[in-house]
């Protein structure tokens, strides 16, 4: 499958998993896609939705095929079923219980042993079954793609915590947690916009925009949860990445990520220097960007002009304390503007930077109107 099979034909016993955690609309699909351009890395999108979206709802993979018809995913599932004796329906029931119920999240935080996590009498299997099957899926992906690292951008903190238990208590995976944050105002602007469902464009259902106060609270909650999960994990193996840093100065961030994941950074640096667009590969679920043929990135500045003064104030009153802890400042957009000379256009950023994208269609038309980010719910 991989042209680089010779470099990574020995699959390690514990799959190396990079889990991207944090709020939606934070650029996780872009980061996931970017990381997946490395010959040792397979990016898979929101793997938590793989069985539901891919096999139950038969949605599209980013390669354009329905998941059951996609060559990669049908082989992965075949290997997964054979090795782990997994039953997809039972797995999906277990997974949604572990990753979706608050009481189970509480148990995972408070109880010392994964064996004691109670999922309820109405499900077949227990946390250990979930853990072994989930590890088996990562293993199958590594085996079929012949890549040594799997990037899962499911983002959900409950899944993050389950993976921490799998890594630290059960020794089933080699976990590297990446907590991705985006400026809460950029997030709120992205969430304020509505989208009509369009499967070919990667939007599975209609998405209604949210008022900024709600998105500010949601952002604070989700990132606080991610902080807690990160603290639960060994600090040496979790990393906080601010999307804006990746967007404006990608090379230091990429070097840091490469050191963190322990793979050579060369292919990523080459890509950043080449201005080649990202190739979507086989992303099973995630935001609509995964359905674009070629993806180029540009800086995330739209919120600065689109949000009103009142909206910015409301967001900052509710979420500013949390944003501050990540190094964001209320007047950060002003200081950035100060750096460019008056009368000149704003800095274009790196061609692979920023969560706003120019698709080939946009380049043909205006080349300036933004393709807004992230449309998954
Ligand atoms: Zn595919």
Provide φ and ψ at 367, rounded to 5°.
75, 0
Distance 280 CA to ligand 1 centre (A): 9
The CA distance from 274 to 269, in Å, is 9
The arithmetic mean of pLDDT across residues 265-284, rounded, is 85
Lookup result for tokens 């967001």: 315
Residue range 30-68, pLDDT digits in tens: 899 899 999 999 999 999 999 999 999 999 888 888 999
Distance 11 CA to ligand 1 centre (A): 22
Distance 222 CA to ligand 1 centre (A): 30
pTM comes to 0.82
Distance 50 CA to ligand 1 centre (A): 12
What residues does 155 pair with on adjacent strands? 21
Closest CA to 282 of 61, 54, 65, 59: 61
Residue range 62-113, pLDDT digits in tens: 888 899 999 999 999 999 999 999 999 999 999 999 998 887 888 888 876 8
Q: Where are the beta strands (DSSP E) in the chain?
A: 16-21, 41-45, 149-155, 174-181, 238-242, 296-298, 352-358
Q: Which of 1-5, 84-88, 95-99, 119-123 has the lowest mean pLDDT?
A: 1-5
Distance 145 CA to ligand 1 centre (A): 12
DSSP output for 84-142: H---HHHHHHHHHHHHH-HHHHHHHHH-S-GGG----TTSSS-HHHHHHHHHHHHHHHH
Distance 74 CA to ligand 1 centre (A): 9
Domains of the chain: 5-364 (3.40.50.300)
Name the token pair of 168: 């630290």
Distance 64 CA to ligand 1 centre (A): 7
Closest CA to 1 of 141, 173, 153: 141
């Amino acid at each position: 499958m991989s042209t680089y099979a010779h470099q990574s034909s020995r699959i390690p016993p514990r799959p190396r998993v990079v889990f991207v955690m944090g709020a939606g609309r934070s650029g996780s699909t872009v980061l996931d896609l970017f990381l997946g351009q490395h010959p040792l890395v397979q990016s898979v999108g929101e793997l938590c939705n793989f069985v539901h979206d891919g096999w139950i709802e038969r949605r599209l993979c980013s390669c354009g095929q329905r998941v059951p018809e996609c060559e990669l995913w049908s082989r992965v599932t075949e290997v997964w079923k054979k090795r782990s004796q997994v039953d997809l329906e039972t797995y999906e029931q277990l997974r949604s219980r572990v990753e979706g119920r608050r009481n189970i999240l509480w148990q995972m935080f408070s109880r010392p042993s994964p064996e004691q996590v109670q999922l309820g009498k109405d499900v077949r299997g227990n946390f250990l079954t979930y853990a072994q099957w989930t590890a088996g899926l990562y293993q199958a992906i590594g085996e079929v793609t012949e890549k040594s690292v799997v990037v899962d951008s499911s983002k959900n903190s409950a899944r993050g915590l389950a993976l921490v238990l799998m890594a630290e208590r059960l020794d089933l995976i080699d976990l590297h947690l990446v907590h991705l944050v985006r400026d809460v105002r950029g997030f709120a602007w992205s969430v304020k916009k509505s989208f009509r469902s369009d499967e070919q464009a990667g939007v599975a259902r209609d998405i209604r925009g949210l008022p900024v106060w709600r998105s500010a609270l949601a952002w604070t909650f989700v990132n606080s949860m991610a902080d807690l999960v990160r603290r639960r994990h060994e600090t040496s193996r979790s990393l906080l990445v601010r999307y804006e840093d990746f967007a404006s100065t990608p090379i230091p961030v990429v070097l840091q990520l490469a050191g963190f994941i322990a793979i050579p950074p060369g292919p990523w640096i080459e890509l950043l220097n080449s201005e080649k667009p990202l190739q979507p590969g086989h992303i099973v679920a995630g935001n609509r960007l995964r359905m674009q043929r070629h993806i180029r990135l540009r800086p995330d500045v739209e919120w600065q002009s689109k949000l009103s003064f009142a909206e910015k104030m409301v967001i900052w009153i509710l979420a500013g304390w949390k944003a501050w802890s990540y190094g964001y400042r209320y007047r950060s957009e002003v200081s950035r503007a100060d750096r460019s000379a008056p009368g000149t256009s704003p800095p274009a950023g790196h061609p692979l930077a920023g969560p706003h994208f120019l698709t080939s269609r946009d380049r043909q038309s205006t080349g300036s109107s933004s393709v807004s980010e992230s449309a998954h719910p």
